[in-house]
Amino acid sequence: MIVRIRKFERKDIPKKVEWINNPQNNKFLHYDIPLEVEKTQKWFDSNIGRTDRYDAVIEADGVPCGTIGLLEIDKKNSKAEYYIAMGETSLKGKGISTQASKILLDYAFGELKLNRIYLYTETENIPAQRLFEKLGFIKEGCIRDDIVSHGKFVDRYIYGLVRDEYLKEE
Residue 27 sits in a domain of what CATH number? 3.40.630.30
Q: What is the three-class DSSP state of 2?
A: coil
Q: Is the pLDDT of residue 169 over 90?
A: no
pLDDT band at 65, cuts 50/70/90? very high
For position 51, what pLDDT does the model report? 95
Closest CA to 79 of 160, 15, 167: 160
Provide the residue type at 140 as one letter: E
For position 32, what pLDDT does the model report? 74
- In whole numbers, what is the pLDDT of the chain averaged over residues? 94
Q: Is the pLDDT of residue 156 over 70?
A: yes
Q: Average pLDDT of 101-129?
A: 97
Q: Average pLDDT of 61-73?
A: 97
Rounded CA gap, 92 and 170, in Å? 24
For position 71, what pLDDT does the model report? 98
* Contact call for residues 87 and 57 (beta carbons, < 8 A): no
pLDDT band at 170, cuts 50/70/90? low
Handedness of CA 63, 68, 69, 71 (dihedral sign): positive
Instruction: Note the pLDDT tens digit of each residue in 81-91.
Output: 999 999 999 99
Length of the chain: 170
Rounded CA gap, 44 and 140, in Å? 32
Range of the domain at 25: 3-169
Q: Which helix (H) or strand (E) holds 71?
A: strand 63-74
**168 or 166, which is more confident:** 166
Q: Is the pLDDT of residue 28 over 90?
A: no
Please state the domain count of the chain. Answer: 1
DSSP state letter for 12: G
